[in-house]
Homo-oligomer: A and B are copies of this chain.
Amino acid sequence: MKKKVTWLAGALLGLLLVMSFMRSGQVRSADAADKPNIIILFCDDLGYGDLSAYGHPTIRTPNLDRMAAEGMKFTNFYSGSPACTASRYALLTGRFPVRSGFEWVLYPKSERGIHPREWTLAEGLKSAGYATACYGKWHLGTTKKAYLPLQNGFDEYVGLPYSNDMLPPQHPPIALMEGNDTLQLNPDQAQLTALYTERAKAFIRKHKAEPFFVYLPYAMPHVPLHPGEKFAGRSPRGTYGDVVEEIDWSAGEILELLKAEGLDENTLVFFTSDNGPWIIKNELGGSAGLLRDGKGSTWEGGMRVPGIARWPGTIKAGTLQLQQASTLDLYTTCLALAGQSPPIDGRSVDGRDISALLHGKQDTTLADRPYFYYGPHVLQAVRKGPWKLHLITSSQTGRDYFNGKLPLLFNLETDPSEQYGLSDARPEIVQELMELAEQHKRQAAQEGSFWGKE
């Protein structure tokens, strides 16, 4: 009996030693090796056309261009919404804005925030053993503790919790938070990109031996534009170019660290944006390239954004990805990579696992699934395959491009700039997409939201 206990104690001690050694950062467990690290670099108001990899002539983004050349460049990638809050909600929950009853933009004093019943990407990854951190713009509620990042799956948080233009006198002093607390009132915005980058790098170094998730929602290039000292006045594109080039620098720093730490092959890095460019800000806003309109609109320029995935050894270098996908899919895909699934409790999760695409495999079930464009309050358009039907159109510019003609049908593959309306020519497609939209609206109304009907 005594012998048995001694043997057991020895075994336990050995196990503890091994575990402590693993936690010390020298060895990654077999379990962890199967779970790739995940880093999401999330810009604010960066347009489809704002990187040199997507054709911008005077914004230089060599690190992101290289990231695309070494990885996968999406050309039909959507944000969950054409506005900040709903887009972030969609990314972290995998759900269309209508699911949450949470379709507006939050202000510092807004009563609501992310609903406690949501199971965020961070919560999912945390329960799979990931160390999790968010550095940047939260924008999912601040007036209750329950809305904050630490209560929604993140081990660490540093950042401005709402948009960087929500300033006094209309709003309370802007607060830089650390965890649940205010770190600094009215911080110098010019230091934010560098701060978020340094914190992300420190977190990666600290947690390199376990799977980690870093969500980096930059404050830029949302107005007011504040480039760091090293970037101010450097870009030919002006201040807008300065802040985008600083984000490119930030991405480069993180990619370089991954390489230096030998983490390249087990880290998926995804770069994208929360919505299209804020074109009504003129030169202070970005460019949607060949796409129509921008932020706040469900024209392509409002929701189609750059999407770059890098994961050496898994994603083939230089892959062009034309398949329609979205930030909602990042939710489901990252959970799947961590061996997790969204809750099965009646809630709709709209994102799909697109890891087949990352692995260079065909998944025909992805090709024809619909995408629903929320504006952000109501369903405004639906896409299926190449076809997009506008039920309602709107633009912050005030322009009505087709003189009120609705519904408007476009083939986004042959006509990416939405110029040549086809609703008269293809009534059967109009009919099909109308039915899809109605069906979706009925289902969404029936399911309701966690906040209840409004």
A-side residues, CB < 8 A to B, are: 48-49, 52-58, 60, 62, 65-66, 69, 73, 75-76, 236-238, 240-241, 282-283, 287-290, 304, 318, 320, 322, 386, 412-417, 419-420
CB of B65 within 8 A of CB of A238, answer: no
CB of B58 within 8 A of CB of A48, answer: no
CB of A420 within 8 A of CB of B283, answer: yes
- Bound Cα distance from A420 to B287, whole angstroms: 14
8 pairs of A and B residues whose beta carbons are closest in the complex: A55-B55, A57-B75, A54-B55, A236-B413, A238-B414, A69-B69, A58-B413, A49-B290
Instruction: State the Cβ distance, A198 to closest chain B Cβ, in Å.
Output: 26
- Bound Cα distance from A236 to B75, whole angstroms: 12
- Bound Cα distance from A65 to B56, whole angstroms: 15
CB of A414 within 8 A of CB of B283, answer: yes
Q: Count copies of this chain in the complex.
A: 2
User: A66: which B residues are within 8 A, CB to CB?
Assistant: 318
CB of B48 within 8 A of CB of A55, answer: yes
CB of B289 within 8 A of CB of A416, answer: no
- Bound Cα distance from A412 to B419, whole angstroms: 25
Instruction: State the Cβ distance, A54 to closest chain B Cβ, in Å.
Output: 4
User: A240: which B residues are within 8 A, CB to CB?
Assistant: 414
CB of A49 within 8 A of CB of B420, answer: no
Pairs across A and B, CB under 8 Å, 19 listed: A48-B55, A52-B320, A53-B53, A55-B56, A55-B75, A56-B75, A56-B290, A57-B416, A58-B75, A62-B320, A66-B318, A69-B69, A236-B414, A237-B413, A240-B414, A283-B414, A287-B290, A287-B416, A289-B290
Select from chain B the residue with minimum beta-carbon distance to A319.
B62
Instruction: State the Cβ distance, A259 to closest chain B Cβ, in Å.
Output: 16
Question: Assuming the A-B contacts A414-B236, A420-B282, are A55 and B60 also in contact, with contact meaning beta carbons closer than 8 angstroms in the complex?
Answer: no
Select from chain B the residue with minimum beta-carbon distance to A304.
B57
Instruction: State the Cβ distance, A55 to closest chain B Cβ, in Å.
Output: 3
User: A420: which B residues are within 8 A, CB to CB?
Assistant: 282-283
- Bound Cα distance from A171 to B100, whole angstroms: 64
User: A416: which B residues are within 8 A, CB to CB?
Assistant: 56-58, 237, 287
User: A290: which B residues are within 8 A, CB to CB?
Assistant: 49, 55-57, 287-290
User: A413: which B residues are within 8 A, CB to CB?
Assistant: 58, 236-238
* Contact among B58, B60, B283, B318 for A65, CB-based, below 8 A: B318
User: A238: which B residues are within 8 A, CB to CB?
Assistant: 413-414
User: A57: which B residues are within 8 A, CB to CB?
Assistant: 75-76, 290, 304, 322, 412, 416
- Bound Cα distance from A58 to B410, whole angstroms: 14
- Bound Cα distance from A138 to B414, whole angstroms: 30
Beyond A241-B414, A283-B415, 11 additional contacts (C-beta under 8 Å) are A52-B73, A52-B75, A54-B55, A55-B55, A55-B75, A69-B69, A236-B322, A282-B420, A283-B414, A287-B416, A288-B290
CB of B318 within 8 A of CB of A62, answer: yes
CB of B52 within 8 A of CB of A287, answer: no
CB of A60 within 8 A of CB of B318, answer: no
CB of B414 within 8 A of CB of A287, answer: no
User: A318: which B residues are within 8 A, CB to CB?
Assistant: 62, 65-66, 69
CB of A386 within 8 A of CB of B236, answer: yes
CB of B289 within 8 A of CB of A49, answer: yes
User: A58: which B residues are within 8 A, CB to CB?
Assistant: 75-76, 322, 412-414, 416
- Bound Cα distance from A322 to B240, whole angstroms: 17
CB of A60 within 8 A of CB of B320, answer: yes
User: A53: which B residues are within 8 A, CB to CB?
Assistant: 53, 55
